[in-house]
Amino acid sequence: MTHFAITLPPVIKTISDELSKQNFKAILVGGCVRDFFLDLPIKDYDVEVFGIENIETLEEILCKFGTVNLVGKSFGILKFVYGEHEYDFSLPRTETKSSVGHKGFDVVCNGEMDFKSAAIRRDFTINAIGYDMASGEVLDPFGGLEDIERKIVRCVSKDTFAEDPLRVYRAAGFCARFDFEIDSQTLNLCCDMTKKDEFKSLPKERIFVEFKKILLKSPKPSVGFELLRQMGVINYFPELYNIIDIPQSPIHHPEGDVWIHTMMVIDEMAELRTLKEKLDLKLILAALCHDFGKATHTQIEDEKIRAIGHEKAGVELTKDFLYRLTNEHDLVKSVLPLVEHHLVPSMYFKNHARDKKIRHLSTRVNISELLILARADFFGRTTTEAMSGMYEAGDWMEKKAKELGVFYSPPKPFVKGKDLIDLGLIPSPKFSEILDIVYEKQLNGEIKTKEDAFVYLPKIINS
């Protein structure tokens, strides 16, 4: 019998003690126990209560210590809210597949179940470990601790595992996040599951959640995507599937085809994370999508491989791909300029672009974000320059953009509509035309100050 001391939030310990007094057993379950043994910070505490008669009894006890949200009550789950934190308390239950879809399960709660019978519904052995908070005993009926030691992702039961096709994505995600290998039987099971109709009908919102975990929580997201490719999942995403085996110039991309390069780029982007989740998601999605256009625009002439215009061609492909994953319009919209302009830093450096070019660029894309993507793109290859760790074009553009004050945002217009009204003009459709002309001159460097703008204004107004 193995015992450990997991540090618990005081309120959870208090509730556990109260449950023990009433001869109920509170078992910590799921990811929090797994993360303890992986030496990772515990973010969510989930508690399963054994020996209890019904969910109402559990609700009464929890209400003594905080607020109870009943949103999951019909599934035997209570959301306990204490301060700014929320914890899941549930009864042991069985889940039997009854119809198609992730909600097609018959759930039966039974407080008299033993831990092993309750845990068999879980996906992987590493998630089927329990911790008795009263005694400190670790409950491990399926060998999850050994699999953590061996760094293996293995399903608990092939019969229950196959009931939820989303677990294919989760398998790839856990391998990527924890640097684990997938058990061969579990891999074969995942490959079989991807061929079934139910796999194709997974809601995109659930898939996107798993994509985000791979992209944002993995040291090397490529591990997850390579597994998804091996399992046959990538076949359902044509924009990703179509970049496999697309050749690239061996001079600029000695690492191999577009898929290999893309995998290297998302790994580089993982190294460049800002730890601002919204920004990191935007950037790594741009990294994943940045070369989609090469699938349609790669040409081989005189033994030279080129993909002229692929960055612009990739915009529509990126839009199609992302909208099949999410309806978050602002997110999709924010990724597209990064894809369209990802080559610009290197091109501008090569062509010694003038200041006005960089000012104009800042109105189309956030240069600070673009340069993070461009760095990932540059270092996600095996050229001598990339291996040196120096990205001269990026350093040059960062310096120029900061000098021009456009690194984070475009220049603020010297003249606004209010200024025209102050000059005695009556608001009209001509306002935007006047303002556009002045702003264009400002971006070009022909107007350098607000005073210059007001000197120039009469010429525009009179014309």
pLDDT for the residue 29: 97
**How many domains is the chain partitioned into structurally?**
3
Which CATH number belongs to the domain containing residue 31 in this structure? 3.30.460.10
Half-sphere exposure of 305 (CA within 13 A, CB side): 16
Q: Based on the fold, state whether residues 338 and 431 are members of the same structural domain.
A: no
pLDDT band at residue 127 using 50, 70 and 90 as cut-offs: very high
Does residue 125 form part of some domain?
yes
> Which residues, including other chains, have CB under 8 Å from residue 63's CB and lie 6 or more apart?
none
Q: Based on the fold, state whether residues 275 and 406 are members of the same structural domain.
A: yes
Does residue 153 form part of some domain?
no
The two most distant CA atoms of the chain are separated, in Å, by 91
Span of 203-217, 276-290, 323-337, 445-459 with lowest mean pLDDT? 445-459
Answer yes or no: is pLDDT of 1 > 60.
no
Q: Based on the fold, state whether residues 407 and 421 are members of the same structural domain.
A: no
288 Ramachandran zone, left/alpha/beta (phi>0; psi -120 to 50): alpha
pLDDT for the residue 50: 96
Answer yes or no: is pLDDT of 289 > 80.
yes
End position of a domain, from candidates 93, 126, 143 = 143
Instruction: Return mean pLDDT, the chain.
Output: 94
End position of a domain, from candidates 90, 123, 143 = 143
Q: Based on the fold, state whether residues 396 and 436 are members of the same structural domain.
A: no
Would you say the pTM of this structure is higher than 0.85?
yes
Query: CA 265 to CA 267: how far, in whole Å?
Result: 5
Exposed e or buried b per residue across 21-42, where buried means at least 16 C-beta atoms within 10 angstroms of its C-beta: eeebbbbbbbbbbbbbbeeeeb
Q: Based on the fold, state whether residues 17 and 69 are members of the same structural domain.
A: yes
Q: Domain of 36? A: 10-143
* Average pLDDT for 258-277: 97
Bigger pLDDT: 281 vs 69: 281
Q: Based on the fold, state whether residues 338 and 379 are members of the same structural domain.
A: yes
Span of 71-80, 196-205, 395-404 with lowest mean pLDDT? 71-80
End position of a domain, from candidates 99, 120, 143 = 143
Q: Based on the fold, state whether residues 426 and 356 are members of the same structural domain.
A: no
Does residue 442 form part of some domain?
yes
Q: Based on the fold, state whether residues 41 and 116 are members of the same structural domain.
A: yes
Q: Based on the fold, state whether residues 67 and 133 are members of the same structural domain.
A: yes
pLDDT band at residue 429 using 50, 70 and 90 as cut-offs: confident
Picking from 14, 292, 256, the residue whose alpha carbon sits closest to that of residue 134 is 14
* Average pLDDT for 341-359: 97
**Cα–Cα distances in angstroms (integers) from residue 437 to residues 413, 424, 433, 441, in the given order:** 11, 19, 6, 6
Q: Based on the fold, state whether residues 307 and 435 are members of the same structural domain.
A: no
pLDDT for the residue 33: 97
Bigger pLDDT: 95 vs 231: 231
- 79-110 pLDDT, tens digit each: 999 999 999 999 998 876 655 655 556 778 88
Does residue 217 form part of some domain?
no
Half-sphere exposure of 59 (CA within 13 A, CB side): 13
* Average pLDDT for 391-405: 98
Q: Based on the fold, state whether residues 294 and 383 are members of the same structural domain.
A: yes
pLDDT band at residue 423 using 50, 70 and 90 as cut-offs: confident
Q: Based on the fold, state whether residues 360 and 446 are members of the same structural domain.
A: no
Answer yes or no: is pLDDT of 2 > 80.
no
Does residue 266 form part of some domain?
no
Span of 97-106, 147-156, 279-288, 327-336 with lowest mean pLDDT? 97-106
Residue linked to tokens 């050749």: 247
